Amino acid sequence: MTTDDNVEKSIKIDVTKSVGIDVGLINWLALSDGRMIENPLDFDAQAKKIKKLQRNLSRKEKGSHNREKARVALAKAWRQVRRCRDDFVHKTSKMLVDEGYTLVVFEKLNIVNMVKNHNLASAIMDATWGKLRQLTAYKVERRGGRCITVNPSGTSQKCSGCGVETKEKLDLSIRTFECHSCGLVLDRDMNAAKNILKSGLEQARAETEPLLIRQRISKFQSRKQEAHVLRRG
C-alpha cells in the first residue's frame, strides 16, 4: 500500500541520481558526471554513401534489371544505417537506466547547422538523437524516474562552476572552456552537460514544488478530518 510519505518521497528529486547530457559530433554524448561516449556513427559518411546510391538509382532505366539492383542496394544501405543506429541507441539508453539515474536531462536541440550535409546527414543524426531521447524516457519512466528536455541556450557560454556567462561565442574548433571569472578549465561539452543538468534540476523542482505542497495540504486536511471524527466519537 502506498502511503502519503511514500508518495512525497517519490516526488522529491535525488540530485546524486540525476544526469545532464550534452550531444555533439565529436563526443557523441557528454555526461555531467564526467563520462564521455564517442560517436560510433559517421553521419556524413553514411549520408554520402546513400546519396551516391540514390544518384545511381536515378540514372537507371525504369523497369530495368539494373534499376532493381540499384534499388535493392539503396534499401540495404538504409537498413544498415537504421540497424547501427538502433543498436547503439538501445545500448546507450540501457546503460543510462542501469546506472540508476532517476532524472535524465537532455537539451532541446536544432541540429540543422551542426553538419555539412544539411539534408540527409542531419536527418540521420536527428533521428538518432530523437530515438535516444524517446527510448531513454520510456525506460527511465518505466522504472519510476523522469526524463526532461531543457533549452540549450547559453549552456556552452556559461561557466558551470560560477555561473558567469562569456560574451564571445565559442567556435566549434575550441574544445576547452576557460572561465575568466573563476578560472575553471573544462572540456566544453562537459561544461555544457553540467549546465544542462542545472537547468533540468531547476525545471524539475519548479514542477515538483506544487505537487509537494498539494501532498502536504492533503495530508494535513486528512489528519484534521480524522481528529474531527475522533472528537465526535
DSSP string, 197-233: HHHHHHHHHHHHHHHHHHHHHHHHHHHHHHHHHHHH-
Tell me, letter by letter, the H, E, C secondary structure of 2-39: CCHHHHHHHHCCCHHHEEEEEECCCEEEEECCCCEEEC
Q: Which of 5, 98, 165, 189 is catalytic?
A: 189
Q: Which of 8, 107, 202, 226 is catalytic?
A: 107
pLDDT of residue 113: 52
pLDDT of residue 162: 93
* Residue whose C-alpha cell reads 550535409 in the numeric block: 117
Q: Which of 22, 86, 207, 209 is catalytic?
A: 22
pLDDT of residue 24: 77
Tens of pLDDT, residue by residue, the chain (233 residues): 444 444 444 446 677 889 999 987 677 889 999 999 887 767 677 778 888 988 988 888 888 998 999 999 999 988 988 888 888 889 999 998 999 898 999 988 765 555 554 566 666 666 678 888 889 999 999 988 899 999 888 888 899 999 998 877 777 778 899 998 999 999 999 999 999 999 999 888 887 654 444 444 455 455 555 555 555 55
pLDDT of residue 88: 85
For the question of residue 22 being annotated catalytic, the response is yes
Under 8 Å between Cβ of 184 and 177: yes
Query: Who contacts 122 (Cβ-Cβ below 8 Å, separation ≥6)?
Result: 43, 111, 112, 114, 115
